[in-house]
A and B are shown apart, each in its own frame.
Chain A
Amino acid sequence: DQQVKQNSPSLSVQEGRISILNCDYTNSMFDYFLWYKKYPAEGPTFLISISSIKDKNEDGRFTVFLNKSAKHLSLHIVPSQPGDSAVYFCAASANSGGSNYKLTFGKGTLLTVNP
């Protein structure tokens, strides 16, 4: 039973345009969400997070939007750069990501940014 779903295995965009990566979740107890980026042969690195008390969080070129009623979040990258090409994982946790609650990850979306 997949509680965090990334329905697009891959996405291709042109350099300079917006990349939108989507994530849906089914567990209504989830209240803390994160995005990780992973290059081949490396471990995932943290990008940005959002708590359920917010509907938007921005960090430079990266913005995460949360729609609690739809159980949907998205990551916007503007403008996209070739170095952004990687696999992006959505993750979620209950208890505000607090102690003893593990993250549940989606299957990932491979983003390719073409020069």
Chain B
Amino acid sequence: DVKVTQSSRYLVKRTGEKVFLECVQDMDHENMFWYRQDPGLGLRLIYFSYDVKMKEKGDIPEGYSVSREKKERFSLILESASTNQTSMYLCASRTGQGGGYTFGSGTRLTVV
């Protein structure tokens, strides 16, 4: 089974801090994605990556950046955390042939 692992389940950070959310997948998937889930808004795509060192903006990239130095790891960076970035963050991956995603368990981030 494909495993997508997010480093933290729960995280509390202060406003203005730089925050790193880490995601690792173990099935050599080319594509990786970062979403956030908010009540009433569903899943919104922040950034995605089709391959190492490649990245594309999703629907809500403002305030975020990403890094993909190795195929198995896709990091989401909040340059200066703000309270409106309090959310559930979900990482996903899939093969380069497409199809559905495999999601990680999520990171519940609270910015105070």
Name A residues whose Cβ lies closer than 8 Å to a Cβ of B.
Answer: 6, 9, 32, 34, 36, 38, 41-46, 49, 89, 91, 93, 95-103, 105-108
Contacts and interface: CB of A to CB of B under 8 A. Distances in A.
B103 A44 contact: yes
From B37, B42, B99, B102, residue with most partner A Cβ within 10 Å:
B42
Given A41-B105, A44-B43, 13 more contacts: A9-B40, A36-B100, A41-B108, A43-B92, A43-B105, A46-B100, A89-B42, A89-B43, A97-B99, A102-B45, A102-B48, A107-B40, A108-B43
Given A42-B106, A46-B102, A95-B98, A105 B43 contact: yes
Given A89-B43, A105-B43, A107-B41, A43 B100 contact: no
B6 to A, nearest CB: 8
A100 B41 CA distance: 24
Nearest to B104: A43
B101 interface: yes
A102 B4 contact: no
A106 B98 CA distance: 19
A49 B94 CA distance: 15
A108 B90 CA distance: 15
Contacts, number: 68
Contacts of A91: 100
Contact of B42 (A93, A98, A107): A107
Given A41-B108, A43-B90, A102-B48, A93 B98 contact: yes
A99 B98 contact: yes
Interface in B45-104: 45, 48, 50, 58, 90, 92, 96-104
Given A89-B43, A105-B43, A34 B48 contact: no
Nearest to B45: A102
A11 B5 CA distance: 31
B105 A42 contact: yes
14 contacts: A36-B100, A41-B108, A43-B105, A43-B106, A44-B103, A49-B100, A91-B100, A93-B98, A95-B98, A98-B98, A99-B31, A99-B50, A102-B58, A106-B42
